[in-house]
Copies of this chain bind each other. A is one copy, B any other.
Amino acid sequence: MDLEEHTKIPQATAKRLPLYYRFLNNLHGQGKMRVSSKELSEAVKVDSATIRRDFSYFGALGKKGYGYNVEYLLSFFRKTLDQDETTKVALIGVGNLGTAFLNYNFTKNNNTKIEIAFDASRERVGSEVGGVRVEHIDDMEEKMGDLAVAILTVPASEAQGIADRLVDAGVSAILNFTPARITVPSHVRVHHIDLAIELQALVYFLKHYPLDEEEEE
């Protein structure tokens, strides 16, 4: 693996890569052959200089006076983002949010696939949601296999307990949608997405960080 190259890439850039990839896919689907950083900037709402800088970490991908070749860029990012090998994911907690994930067609445009789901409700067990089998949470360790990534959409009170079990089962990355800040060993990566906080933060910015005035009523 060519970790040496990738390790140098700023985290802020890495987070934008999937975004670029998706929009390049769109463009390609529309039959576009070339694209400039300026066009891309308008589409993804990222400053064009930032886009050029981001791309430049991977070398000279474009041509001066021309822009970027969509197909080339796309195939480059496909490799970089490991789009060829699908990462299998487990989902814990088939509530509304969990169901939303299961019905989301990740595999399209995406290198991730939810392979199996777990829930504590006996009623849901055995059914399929969005084409994914739902198993009982008690059988998690047994049925999870070697999946490395888990999406956690359980009630907050369960979060830490389940996280501990996931870690024991060998999971190395958790996408945590519960409000609980879970504690895990240092070799496990956790990303928190906290819906209530996102909403509160938006409201805070709205009230305290005025944007342009509205021109008129």
Q: Residues of A at under 8 Å CB distance from B?
A: 1, 3, 6-7, 9, 11, 14-15, 17-19, 21-22, 43-45, 81-82, 87, 89, 95-97, 99-101, 103-104, 106, 109-112, 148-149, 151, 172-173, 175, 179, 181, 183, 185-189, 191-215
- Residues of B within 8 Å of A104, CB to CB, are 195-196
The answer to whether B203 touches A173 (Cβ under 8 A) is yes
- Residues of B within 8 Å of A179, CB to CB, are 22
The answer to whether A203 touches B95 (Cβ under 8 A) is no
The answer to whether B6 touches A200 (Cβ under 8 A) is no
Q: Return the chain B residue nearest A186 by Cβ.
A: B212
With A179-B22, A196-B110 as known contacts, state yes or no: A3 contacts B202, CB within 8 Å.
no
Q: How far is the CA of A199 from the CA of B197 in the complex (A)?
A: 19
Q: How far is the CA of A211 from the CA of B65 in the complex (A)?
A: 41
24 contacts between A and B (CB under 8 A): A1-B207, A14-B204, A15-B201, A18-B197, A19-B197, A21-B200, A45-B181, A82-B207, A89-B199, A95-B100, A96-B99, A96-B103, A97-B100, A100-B100, A106-B196, A106-B199, A110-B199, A112-B200, A148-B206, A173-B206, A189-B202, A189-B206, A191-B198, A193-B198
Q: How far is the CA of A101 from the CA of B183 in the complex (A)?
A: 25
The answer to whether B200 touches A187 (Cβ under 8 A) is no
- Residues of B within 8 Å of A22, CB to CB, are 179, 196-197
- Residues of B within 8 Å of A1, CB to CB, are 207
Q: Which of A9, A19, A112 has the most CB of B within 10 A?
A: A19
The answer to whether A200 touches B18 (Cβ under 8 A) is yes
- Residues of B within 8 Å of A201, CB to CB, are 14-15, 17-18, 191
- Residues of B within 8 Å of A89, CB to CB, are 199
Q: How far is the CB of A52 from chain B (nearest CB, A)?
A: 18
- Residues of B within 8 Å of A97, CB to CB, are 96-97, 100
- Residues of B within 8 Å of A44, CB to CB, are 181
The answer to whether A209 touches B45 (Cβ under 8 A) is no
